[in-house]
Amino acid sequence: MKLAILDRDGVINYDSDNYIKSPAEWRPIPGSIEAIARLNQNGFRIAVATNQSGIGRGLFDMATLNAINDKMMELVFRQGGRIDALFFCPHTAVEECACRKPRTGMLEEIAARFHTELKGVPAIGDSLKDLQAAESVGAQPILVLTGKGKMTREAGGMPKKTLVFEDLAEASRHLIGHP
């Protein structure tokens, strides 16, 4: 089984400094939905691991998060793809939980759910936290330059083995071996 782990905000959809607080605010980055379907059609299972501290901050509730994620899943399904599992951390940074990236709790849960090692598994994100979490579990850190990606690259300090792509579409073509 091939597995790919994706961050959500800034990778699949446009991010917002004010948080994505409703399905109406959730807008896919061009090519991202098709990229997920392309990965599925080439044998990849897809897990999403996303920090969602807006819940902990009281900006939106679980019903709203579920509605936002339902919209994403529906768009992926309409393209002939699927998201096999979705993990989220509802905590704020001050709570110091084990699940909030760059900690590895969500990634460890994904490994357990799929009964697999994460060594070499592509983990695609737009922030240093995503890349650090991936490196900590032996996954392949991949930075996309959407979302916070350009700032992350400019800030430096990325894991040495990080691959960098313009967006999820380009990363997906690399993973399936198509230019």
The span from the CA of 44 to the CA of 140, in Å, is: 15
Kindly indicate whether the domain formed by 2-176 is annotated with CATH number 3.40.109.10. Answer: no
DSSP β-bridge partners for residue 140: 122
For range 154-171, the mean pLDDT: 97
Sequence-ordered list of residues with C-beta below 8 angstroms from that of 101, at least 6 positions apart, any chain: 7, 49, 51, 89, 125, 127, 129, 130, 132, 133
Cβ pair 134, 159 in contact under 8 A: yes
What's the whole-model pTM score? Answer: 0.97
Give the pLDDT confidence of 63-104 residue by residue, as tens digits. 999 999 999 999 999 999 999 999 999 999 999 999 999 999
Active-site choice (7, 15, 130, 167): 7
pLDDT score, position 179: 60
Catalytic residue flag (residue 84): no
Catalytic residue flag (residue 15): no
